[in-house]
Structure 1
Amino acid sequence: MFATLRVIVLVAAAFAISAQAETHTVTFTNLCGTGTPLLKANGVTLSTGGAYTSNGPLSGAIAYLDVGCGDNGEGCTMVETTLVNPTTAGSGSSTDITLISPHSFSVTTGFGYYNGCDGAGADCTSASCSTAFHSDGDTGVQVACQTDNVNLAITFCD
């Protein structure tokens, strides 16, 4: 009986741990008819257009539609994101669009959170859009989300 109870406790503990595991998914919609959506982190390509799920935080990732961009999105509109479950107020996910050189406007780009913070996001439809970083001081364009396991949808040419 002790062995059976021990197995039940171990299974319940494993289930509880897996139920609390942090995950984040990034999806792409490319309506441009050209280019390849890319998601990268630390110089590693994580996705070439398919949905990518991170088992744990996704920190310092970049996404862009490769229409002749450089290896890190140079010359293109770029989305920067960190998706992480908040541990204290203000420590959760943050996403933005950047046009800071060497990045520049290439295609209409937008993002939005889902599975939490639904409706929070930004769109950049021109080189002068007010929703993107144009200089380091434009911190007001960052879109935060304080929800566990939030996901991100990125759209090009909407």
Structure 2
Amino acid sequence: MFFKLAIGALSAAVAFLQVNAESHTVTFNNKCGRGTPHLYSQTGQLLSTGGAWTSNGEALGLIAFLQTGGCGNNGEGCTLVEATLKNGGSAADISLISPHEFSVTSGFGYYDGCDGSGTDCTSASCPKAYRQPNDNFAIVGCGANNVNLAITFCD
């Protein structure tokens, strides 16, 4: 009898963890007709070259850009989308802090939570982008759990 109760309790615990597991997906929509979306982790690992990427847990310090042949390995010379996706405290922004610079129209938006929140950078003057390290107005936050992020180029 004890064995059956222990197995039952273990099964319930595993089911609870699976239901409450943190997960986030980053998707791309490249409307430019050229280039390849790149998504990197904070450790410099290439996570995606255009396909959807899903984390099993927090996704901290992500960077994304459209590699058109003129971008460095960390998106230098190109428009950069930065994101951290974590339950209760996701944040994303567009960075044009040197050595990053406007290359293509870029934008992002949250979905499956905080729908409609995001920003677009449509020109080199991009008023909603980071230009200096203290331009915190550029951050778009989201407090939803398991929120996802769509990044679009040339919209």
Smaller-chain TM-score bracket: over 0.9
Determine which of 103, 108, 113 is the counterpart of 1:111: 108
Query: When the two structures are aligned, how many residues end up with a matched partner?
Result: 153
What is the identity, as a one-letter code, of the residue corresponding to 1:31? Answer: K
Q: Could you give the per-residue CA deviations for residues 84-110 of structure 1, whole angstroms, max 9, x where no partner exists?
A: 112xxxxx0110000111000000000
After superposition, residues 70-85 of structure 1 pair within 5 angstroms as 70-85=72-87
Q: Which runs of 5+ in 1 are unaligned?
A: 87-91
What is the identity, as a one-letter code, of the residue corresponding to 1:113? Answer: Y
Instruction: Give 4+ residue runs of structure 1 displaced > 6 Å after superposition.
Output: none
Using structure 2 for the length normalisation, give the TM-score. 0.96
- What is the aligned-residue identity percentage? 61
Which residue of the partner structure matches residue 9 of structure 1? 9
Q: Which runs of 5+ in 2 are unaligned?
A: none
After superposition, residues 6-85 of structure 1 pair within 5 angstroms as 6-41=6-41, 42-68=43-69, 69-85=71-87
Residue 61 of structure 1 deviates from its aligned partner by: 0.8
The alignment's C-alpha RMSD in Å is: 0.8
Residue 6 of structure 1 deviates from its aligned partner by: 2.0
Other structure's SS at 2:99 match? coil
Q: For residues 39 and 138 of structure 2, what CA distance do their matches in structure 1 show?
A: 20
Residue 3 of structure 1 deviates from its aligned partner by: 2.2
Using structure 1 for the length normalisation, give the TM-score. 0.94
